[in-house]
Amino acid sequence: MKSMLLVAILILLTLSAGAQTDGSSRVVDTAWLAEHLNDPNLVILQSGWTRGNYRAEHIPGARFLWLNGFAEGTPDLSTELPDIGKVESMLRDLGITNKSKIVVCFEGQDVTMTTRMILTFDYFGLGDRASFLDGGFDTWKREGRPATMEIPKVGKGTFTPRLHPEYIADAEWVKSNLHTKDVTIIDARATRFFEGNGGGMPRPGRIPGAVNIPYSSVVDSTNHLLSREVLKEMFVKAGVKPGNRVVTYCHVGQQASLLYFVARYLGYDARMYDGSFQEWSGREDLPVENPAGKQ
């Protein structure tokens, strides 16, 4: 009887660990990456604005992921999702297949660049296989791990995108949920913008009812994510209740991707308002709350 009880407990623990894997696997550390560097299905993507730094050095086998390709601008808005045809072409060129395990890394302070890329992967159906390299390339180098100038030869990929619109909110969705009790709107901008201090937008302030968790507060000075326990406490302290649906926004939809990523990492049903305050403040039909009337 005792042995059967022990087996049952072990099964429950295994199932519990498995249930947590989906969230925690979205973040990998440098030790994990070093151990799996030669896995045949691993695809490392080094994100950047230009190829210059990538050409100078990168993690062995890493491929270059251009930010503007996966978060392009329009005449009216910045960092918007690209169309599916463009993404299909980029995924093929990156050699991504149905078996790929993707790890996206950043350099310097560009942590939100990585999470913006992961948002795009989520939207186009790769969210269950795309992870964030905690600490990025700088941590990799600081630990004395190998770097190279060699550009890998990559064959064409075969992955077919499948859209997941539930990860993106538009202005109408946000407007219709301003007073929904189980929806929390998170403003990821620095507190001064949340309080109405400019920001270069047509109408300074914030979306009514939003709470503020500045994007910079969820990482430490070396751009490692804070512990899950600290992040959970931070969300609760800001007013994000367990079980709430979460929508994040910022200036143009890049900083907010980090809060979206963290919310999903913590198990929240999360989406990001892609137009963000750039769109919201520019539409006179949408309400803006400016607590101090600051300009």
Return the closest-CA partner of residue 147 out of 157, 137, 156, 155. 137
**Alpha carbon distance 198, 149 (integer Å):** 42
pLDDT tens sequence across 178-211:
999 999 999 999 999 999 987 788 899 999 999 9
Q: Which residues of the chain have pLDDT under 50?
A: 1-24, 295
pLDDT at 72: 65
Sequence ranges of the domains in the chain: 24-163, 166-280
- What is the C-alpha to C-alpha distance for residues 206 and 277, in angstroms, rounded to an integer? 8
Amino acid 76: pLDDT: 66
The per-residue pLDDT for 75 is 59
What pLDDT, on a 0 to 100 scale, did the predictor assign at position 5? 39
Q: List pLDDT tens digits, range 134-164.
A: 999 999 999 999 999 999 999 999 988 899 9
Q: Does 24-163 carry CATH code 1.10.10.350?
A: no
End-to-end CA, the chain: 72
Q: What pLDDT sits at residue 171?
A: 97
- 3-state DSSP helix/strand/coil percent for the chain, to nearest 5? 40, 15, 45
- Predicted confidence at residue 271, as pLDDT, reads 98
What pLDDT does 64 receive? Answer: 95
Fold of 166-280: Oxidized Rhodanese; domain 1 (3.40.250)
Domains 24-163 and 166-280 in one fold: yes
40, burial (CB in 10 Å: exposed 0-12, middle 13-18, buried 19+): exposed
